[in-house]
């Protein structure tokens, strides 16, 4: 049911396919839930600082991801 009719970024599709809940990622990373939501939509990239926090939380959870997997430099 996730992502029905929503335009999603690579990051958003990753969250959906792995069943990662944005609220939980927000708590784990320390990044505002609205920032994660905007990053998951196809509207723009988060700041480098926030993206680093998100990537760090995903790596800590066991995912092998990098900044370039989701956003361009």
Region 41-46 average pLDDT: 82
Query: What pLDDT does 73 receive?
Result: 65
- Angle at which helices 33-40 and 48-60 cross, to 10°: 90
pTM of the model: 0.86
The domain spans of the chain are: 10-70
% of the chain residues with pLDDT over 90 = 74
Length of the chain: 73
* Domain at 10-70, CATH homologous superfamily: lambda repressor-like DNA-binding domains (1.10.260.40)
DSSP string, 12-56: HHHHHHHT--HHHHHHHHT--HHHHHHHHBTT-PPPHHHHHHHHH
Closest CA to 44 of 11, 13, 5, 4: 11
Query: What pLDDT does 11 receive?
Result: 93
55 touches 73 (CB < 8 A): no
């Amino acid at each position: 049911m996730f992502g029905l009719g929503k335009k999603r970024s690579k990051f958003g599709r990753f969250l959906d396919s792995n069943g990662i809940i944005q609220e939980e990622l927000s708590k784990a990373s320390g990044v505002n839930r609205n920032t994660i939501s905007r990053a998951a939509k196809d509207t723009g990239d988060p700041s480098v600082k926030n993206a680093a926090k998100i990537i760090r939380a995903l790596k800590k959870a066991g995912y092998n991801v990098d900044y370039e997997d989701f956003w361009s430099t």
